[in-house]
Amino acid sequence: MRKISITVIMCLMLAVMTGCSSSDTEKLKQDNSFNSFSAQQTKNDYEMKGTAYLSSERDLVSVNILADTEITLKGTLKKQEGEIKLLYEDTKGNITTLLNSEDLKQKTIKVDIPVSLKAGNGKFYLSGTSCIYDFDFKLSLNDEVEYLE
């Protein structure tokens, strides 16, 4: 009985210290939420960072491509749980998988990917089932690419 009480107390302390109960985490995943999300254009790139709680997919940024071009996506993904994909969808609905964590089997994934973009509208997004990942991405700037908030 005493061991059970100590275990319950330890679990409660852990929930209070982390600030997010398992039911809160599950709700965030069901809502396909970003936590501590920020996105901004700097002098050198377009930066996006935060924590993704996913049960399906969530857009990172939409883009308007004025002419066919190429940009570079750099950054990191840090796994807390589950598997995730980083994807790009072009104006015709063609989807390109830029990264699939199942293929890499790493807790921290370094990203440095050239991305060919066709003229028109597109979007970068994350997709996963019951996953949590910290991300920090930088998309290179290019006169042919407009990042839409």
Look up tokens 């370094």; give the residue. Answer: 110
Cα–Cα separations (whole angstroms), residue 130 to 29, 30, 59, 83, 108 = 6, 8, 16, 8, 18
pTM: 0.79
Q: What is the largest CA-CA distance in the chain?
A: 69
> Under a CB-based contact definition with an 8 Å cutoff, are residues 8 and 15 in contact?
no
Q: Is 71 exposed, middle or buried (0-12, 13-18, 19+ CB in 10 A)?
A: buried
- Per-residue pLDDT for the chain (149 aa), expressed as one digit of tens each? 454 444 434 443 434 334 445 566 665 555 556 788 889 999 999 999 999 998 888 899 999 999 999 999 999 999 999 999 999 999 999 999 999 998 888 899 999 999 999 999 999 999 998 899 999 999 999 999 999 97
* Cα angle 105-107-110, degrees, rounded to a multiple of 5: 90
